[in-house]
Structure 1
Amino acid sequence: MKAVPTTWDDTRYIDGYPGRYAVIARRHGSDWYIVGVNASSSPVTLNMSPDMIAPGERVRLYSDDKNLVGSVSEVKADKKGRIKVTMPTGGGFVIMKRSNPDFHVYLCLGQSNMEGNARYEGCDTVGISPRFHMMAAVDMPGKGRLKGRWYTAQPPLARGNTGLTPADYFGRELVKSLPEKVEVGVINVAVGGCRIELFDPINCADHIKGQPDWLKSTVRNYDNNPYQRLIDMARAAQADGVIKGILLHQGESNTGDAEWPVKVKNLYERILADLLPIDWDKTSISVITNGNNQRRINKVMALAYLGKNYLWAASPLMNYSSTGSREYNREYAQKAADAFGELLNLVEKGATQYELVSYDKIGEVFYSYGQNGRMPGLTEVIFRGPEWDPWQNTRYGLALQYVPTPYHPDGGGNNLSPCANYVNYYGMANGLPIDDPESLWDKTHPWKDRDPRFYNDIVFDGCLITDNYQNPLPNIELFTSGASRDINTASRTGYSLKKFLHPTCNRYDDGWGWSPQFTIGISYLRLADVYLMYAEAAAQASGSPSGKSAACQLSALDAINKIRQRAGVENVNSKFTGNIDSFMSELRRERAVELSFEGHRFNDLRRWMLIDKPEYANKTSVEFKRTGDFDPAHPENNAVSGYHEEVIVSRSYSEKHYWLPLKKSDCNISAEFKQNLGW
């Protein structure tokens, strides 16, 4: 009973009679459970043909005999998909249908060639392996095929009047190369002459309106939504096997469309989002990898990257390259908001394994300590890259970059120090930026009453590094000419970084030693990033901070405030919510703070077309002296004098740096392969 799910994705009525018996089917992931009970005074015999069981398919039957003694057997559906079951009085049965990992399914879509433009001949209809199958995506009366059922893959594969497709011989050759126990299935949804836009599930209805009558006639075979038909058939196929790949043959109708590759990528990720499970650990097909599926692509990852693709396509940089406008593309922004909204709706109602961690555990999103090198992330990290010997990489690489003299274990020093102008993005606990007249920031007490993330991420002058008795300098000196301001071995900027460090990571406490197995792991994508990208997309799609997706109850403003509230920062001030430009200034600042030093900033500035602006190109240090009584227990309250910033580096970026150069050898392949502007 432990293996029986407690939550269900689908429930269907199969058969029954009031007061006598009932048969229902329930699905969890790709697994079906068909249950029958008999409350009548006599046995009931049924010849069922449930839609989820294919002709000839084998399933497991748990049944009672006349003495109500249970047994387990494997039964096979007949050629019409029927299974015969007898329920004794007071007894019942359970049919369990689980997907077969050795049945490999491929989705096929596109236009004329994939549809079957070529006429098939007699030789194409013989010698087909019984291990190669096709699922009919439409009824084919002339071929005796019903939609949603599997058949031997004899052409035609798309519709009754179509021809030979690339999928025909793809499948035939594939089964030859696979072990005998492996079978192959294809599902073909294709429309000759169609553009890629026909497979846009949201906008296909509007697209179809402008198409010729012959194409409209073909599309009616798929209820005017070929994409949805493909997904419906694919979901049905997941109950039988595993989807292994997607075959696309389309493009001639989009000749000259510079955005075609982006559209194909978005279509691919939309398919993944619609077909992948939320949590692989809750599927029967991943029993062997249960508990080790964190990097396995799932529905949440697919939705996140689908939204990110759309948001980048909507960005000023991409829109300028496509249309000459430096504004956001609202259509793509709306698509991004809808993808992110779908994801966040699942998260907000507790339907996923992901949630924002409480801020007292935020360090464990980036590192683990005393946990045998466990990869960090908790419930917030969605996607991260592979790691090889992460403790070694942390101990002898990542961690040492952040530790200045005299706390460095090898007598060296850090080479990564936050620039003062970047640290300025960390505003006040009242939610205002430090340059706002009402923020109450005071340059004589520059560390006081700051955003709590400032104290979590940044080492500033006077911070306690360690109270180990061996340490002659427990409080760091980051004032001008202080012990940790050496340009070669310590901080060049007046700050150091601790966001990714456990407090014991210094030469005296040896927090990176063998015993604690301190391990840093910075993810590619975490949930906080999704909330902020949703806020950006929803605001730009609607032109307002109150904008939202129909898929999610959160507004753009709500999404930002959710991240701030988690950290203990006041909400976005009303002075920034009156128009989109003011709101975007706070959103950009929020991304700078929440996602600081996680590898997003360079690309953010590029897509916003800001990287060549002086306020982003100039890097500064903070210079000051300590003044008054020094409080080692509360360094945030200490006073300074002569506080000012000095430019230490100016990046010489221009508009050509919005794009990176392409390899010359690639550009020389064809005259159409142009080098990026400026290179």
Structure 2
Amino acid sequence: MNTKILYFFGVLLFLSSCQDLIDPAIENIQGREDMLERPRLAQGLLINAYLRIPTNGWTFSEMATDDAVSSNPTNGFLNIATGQWASNNNPVNQWSSAQSAIQYLNVMLEDVDSVDFAVDPIVNQMFVDRLKGESYGLRALFMYYLLQAHGGVAEGQLLGVPILTASQNVESEFNIPRNTFEECMTQLYADADRALALLPMDLGNITDPFLIPSKYEGAETGQYNRVFGDDAIQLVSGRIVRAVMAQAALLAASPAFNPEGDVEKWKTAASNAAEILNTIGGVSGLSPTGGTWFSNNAELNAIGGGMNPAEILWRTSIGPSNNLEADNYPPTLYGRGLINPTQNFVDAFPMANGYPISAANSGYDAQSPYSARDPRLNQSVVLNGSTSGPSNTIIITAADGETNDALNRVETSTRTGYYLRKLLRQDVNLNPNSTNQQVHMKPRIRYTEIFLIYAEAANEAYGPTGMGDASYSAYDVIKAIRQRAGIGTENGDEYLESIKGDQAAMRQLIRNERRLELSFEGFRFWDLRRWNVNLNETAQGMTIEGDSYEVMNVENRVFSDYMIYGPVPYSETLKFTELKQNTGW
């Protein structure tokens, strides 16, 4: 240890003067007052909040649902799935991270008016407005994630989280109660509205000075572009804020958070989604290649300059990697086979003619279960006999297979008879002798999600073919999504046509389309809870031997009814007596 300390100080002496060691430079000790004179410090507060966005990376909570199991017995989601979820052991906890982000945002909002970002007063005001708008938008976003993860019923009341609109310090009162869920939603909408008043719908360079808001009287396009131009793309914009409003409104309208079934809440969710969809032409704006965004290699390779493909509303940064493939490729492709889709998930895919496999006239053959199926099945799952990887290797998952890809052969072999294909680039090579990386993209919000929000909300608010204030219905959206996927192309999607007058049947179809279209993107875990449906469906797999196919149970799911809501962290309830824990935890 002493050697390490001496080495550390030796480096410091080499890099610094003796005076610096004796009297540290004042700029090395930063406080809020320094932020007022150093704009980059102020912007650092926002960066800290951006870094805490939960969707910055993949989490794969699907492994705690009926969609997948993990090949790793120490995986945190296995603990959730098998009943080991607790208020002091919560892999989906958002409390501390989101509250910390809100603290940074509150400091920013309190001090940003006093920071000089530019000598030019017009440009300075633009910076202040943009940073304020981002802060309000991010505060709404983090409120959404807090409500999703920790909102719930305590002592018979639907509660959210403590609303914090001012920064906290050593003199603050920390022992404060949770606000009601409705109060939190009101605060979220208020923050979103403030953000919308300050931000343009989209960030990016303009050439027409008439596009500059009138409040910046006398501004030129160069000034505007310096603040709201291309360099700001992928920061929070008005479009992103509206998407957050749609996500939050859907949560608030859902059965777990809307037990009275207030139709007005569904109308709000539909309206918020339509506000975005109308800007891209409604249903006609559905990206033709949006369903395969993760495997559109030429499109992925061409992304640059902060731009988005047509399917992507908001994303993280892009870059070359092979982590997803290393985790999820089958063993013969040098992968760890981490995520194993279930038979439950496979069965959710309809036949290519559009009928569910359980329908009498679907044409499903249990001894040829992958024939004539929805094309999305092969795009999402590596089936027995599928090809995968850069050399189109045939993957045999059958129990009598001769490689480590076979069912339960080694620790990294599939437990269900399936491997994950979705999200993975098939041109990644993990062979130690010729390893490569490829460009990957992590969406935060896709337009398909917004279309599905609209479909779900509009069906509940207006019925399958009702339109409300929009010019399209839930039926129209689902028809377009299924057509894009190649469903019912030869029979006009007879199944969809047969249920377009049945709200309950359309509800089930919309939920299933959401399950398929947004699979392995972090939705199923939360969707099952907000729908307040069965969480205990056993995860199943498929045993294949010769020409025999037999469904098997792989992993029990153990959830109590109260687990539709996540817990408040146990450590927080110990510290603060005013924090009520959600019932059951």
Q: Aligning the two structures, in what range does the TM-score lie when normalised by the shorter sequence?
A: 0.5 to 0.7
CA distance in 1, matches of 2:567, 2:468: 36
Which amino acid in structure 1 is aligned with residue 312 of structure 2? V
Q: Which residue of the partner structure matches residue 622 of structure 1?
A: 542
Cα shift readout 1:419-438 (whole Å, capped 9, x = no counterpart): 11111111111111111111
Specify the SS of the correspondent of 2:549.
Answer: strand
2:484 aligns to what?
566
1:676 aligns with 2:582: yes
Within 5 Å, give how 1:303-452 maps onto structure 2: 303-320=242-259, 325=260, 328-348=261-281, 356-358=287-289, 362-364=293-295, 378-385=309-316, 390-391=319-320, 394-395=321-322, 397-408=323-334, 413-452=336-375
The residue that corresponds to 1:121 in the other structure is: none
Q: 1:508 to 1:267 in 2, by over 3 A?
A: same
Map 1:592-631 onto structure 2 (within 5 A): 592-612=515-535, 614-615=536-537, 618-626=538-546
Q: Quote how far apart the aligned CAs of 1:621 are.
A: 0.9
User: 1:287–1:462: structure 2 CA closer, same or farther, 3 Å change rule?
Assistant: same
The residue type paired with residue 492 of structure 1 is R
The alpha-carbon distance between structure 1 residues 242 and 459, as it changes in their structure 2 partners (threshold 3 A), is: closer
1:475 to 383, 387, 394: 394
Tell me if structure 1 keeps the 8 A contact 2:337–2:412.
yes
CA RMSD of aligned residues (A): 4.0
Q: Identify if the C-alpha distance between structure 1 residues 258 and 590 changes in structure 2 by more than 3 Å, giving closer, same or farther.
A: closer
The answer (yes or no) to whether the contact 2:542–2:549 under 8 Å persists in 1 is yes
Q: CA deviation at 1:272?
A: 3.0
Q: Greater strand percent: which structure?
A: 1
Identify which of structures 1 and 2 has the higher relative contact order when contacts are C-alpha pairs closer than 8 Å and 6+ apart: 2
Amino acid at match of 2:419: S
| 1:538 matched to 2:458 | yes
1:368–1:519: 8 Å Cα contact kept in structure 2? Answer: no
Structure 1's 256 and 524: CA in aligned 2 closer, same or farther, altered over 3 A? closer
Structure-1 separation of matches of 2:272 and 2:376: 29
Confirm or deny that 1:278 pairs with 2:217: no
Question: Which string of whole-angstrom CA distances, capped at 9 and with x for unpartnered residues, describes residues 215-238 of structure 1?
Answer: xxxxxxxxxxxxxxxxxxxxxx97
Whole-angstrom distance in 1 between the partners of 2:350 and 2:256 = 28
Select the residue among 555, 561, 568 that pairs with 1:662: 568
Amino acid at match of 1:545: P
Unaligned runs of 5+ in 2: 1-38, 43-107, 137-162, 167-177, 207-220
Q: Is 2:464–2:500's contact at 8 Å kept on the other side of the alignment? A: yes
Task: Tell whether 2:240 aligns with 1:301.
Answer: yes
Contact 1:659-1:676 at 8 Å conserved across structures: yes
Query: Conserved in 2, the CA contact under 8 Å of 1:367 and 1:501?
Result: no
- Equivalent position SS for 1:646: strand
Letter in 2 for 1:430: N
Say which structure is richer in helix.
2
1:17-47 Cα deviation digits (max 9, x unpaired): xxxxxxxxxxxxxxxxxxxxxxxxxxxxxxx
Distance 1:446 1:455 in 2: 12
In structure 1, distance between residues paired with 2:558 and 2:269: 32
What residue identity is the alignment partner of 1:297?
V
SS of structure 2 residue aligned to 1:524: strand
- In the other structure, the counterpart of 2:449 is 529
Q: State how 1:27-426 maps to structure 2 within 5 Å.
A: 178=116, 181=119, 244=132, 258-273=181-196, 275-283=198-206, 284=221, 285-287=224-226, 290-320=229-259, 325=260, 328-348=261-281, 356-358=287-289, 362-364=293-295, 378-385=309-316, 390-391=319-320, 394-395=321-322, 397-408=323-334, 413-426=336-349
Please report how far the alpha carbon of residue 656 of structure 1 lies from its aligned counterpart in structure 2 after TM superposition: 2.5
Q: Is the 8 A contact 1:375 1:519 kept in 2?
A: no
Q: Supply the distance in 2 between the matched residues of 1:360 and 1:526 (Cα, whole angstroms).
A: 10
CA distance in structure 2 between the aligned counterparts of 1:487 and 1:663, rounded to whole angstroms: 37
Determine the structure 2 residue equivalent to 1:110: none
| Equivalent position of 1:491 in the other structure | 414
Q: TM-score, normalised by structure 2?
A: 0.63
Say whether residues 1:554 and 2:457 are aligned partners.
no
Cα gap change, 1:250/1:289 in structure 2, threshold over 3 Å: closer, same or farther?
Answer: closer
- Judged with a 3 Å threshold, the aligned counterparts in structure 2 of structure 1 residues 174 and 357 are, in CA distance, closer, same or farther, namely closer
After superposition, give the CA deviation of every residue in 1:473-506 in whole Å (9 maximum; x if it has no partner).
x421112232212251221111112122222334
Judge conservation of contact 1:606–1:658 (CA < 8 Å) in 2.
Answer: yes
Structure 1 CA distance, aligned partners of 2:233 and 2:118?
Answer: 32
Residue of structure 2 equivalent to 1:38: none
Whole-angstrom CA distance in 1 between matches of 2:498 and 2:471: 23
Give the Å deviation of 1:177.
5.8
Query: 1:603 & 1:360 partners in 2: Cα distance?
Result: 21
Q: In structure 2, which of residues 414, 425, 438 is the aligned counterpart of residue 502 of structure 1? A: 425
> Partners of 2:342 and 2:553 in 1: how far apart?
10
8 A contact 2:342–2:418 mirrored in 1: yes
| 1:551-571 alpha-carbon deviations (Å, 9 max, x no partner) | x21101111111111121124
Matched with 2:559 is 653
Report the alpha carbon displacement of residue 606 of structure 1 after superposing the two structures with TM.
0.7
User: Contact 1:511–1:518 (CA<8 Å) still a contact in 2?
Assistant: no
Contact 1:403 1:506 in 2 (8 A): no
| Paired position in structure 2 for 1:218 | none
Calculate the TM-score normalised by the size of structure 1.
0.55
Residue deviations 1:344-379 (CA, integer Å, cap 9, x gap) = 11111799xx85142696335699765599989622
- 1:174-205 alpha-carbon deviations (Å, 9 max, x no partner): 766647947699xxxxxxxxxxxxxxxxxxxx
How big is the shift at 1:520?
2.7
Deviation readout 1:87-136 (Å, 9 max, x if unpaired): xxxxxxxxxxxxxx9xx9xxxxxxxxxxxxxxxxxxxxxxxxxxxxxxxx
The 3-state SS of whatever aligns with 1:573 is helix
Q: Give % identity.
A: 26
1:162 aligns to what?
none
After superposition, the Cα gap between the structure-2 partners of 1:511 and 1:281, relative to the gap in structure 1 and judged at 3 Å, is: farther
- SS of the aligned residue for 2:332 comes to coil
The amino acid that maps onto 1:277 is P
C-alpha offsets along residues 266-298 of structure 1, whole Å, 9 cap, x if unaligned? 122134345532321144423477444442222
Kept in 1: contact 2:129–2:199 (CA 8 A):
no
**Pair 529,291 (structure 1): closer, same or farther in 2 beyond 3 Å:** same
CA–CA distance in 2 between the matches of 1:574 and 1:510?
53
